[in-house]
Amino acid sequence: MWLRRGTGKIIVNNKDYTEYFDTNVSILSAATPFRICPVGTNYNVQANVRGGGKKAQADAIKLGIARALVKLDVNLRAVFRKYKLLTVDSRQVERKKYGQRGARRKFQFVKR
Give me the mean pLDDT over the 68-95 stretch. Answer: 92
pTM, two decimal places: 0.85
CATH code: domain 2-82 is: 3.30.230.10
Q: What mean pLDDT value characterizes the chain? A: 92
Give me the mean pLDDT over the 58-67 stretch. Answer: 94
Show the DSSP H helices in the chain as ranges.
17-20, 24-30, 32-36, 54-72, 76-82
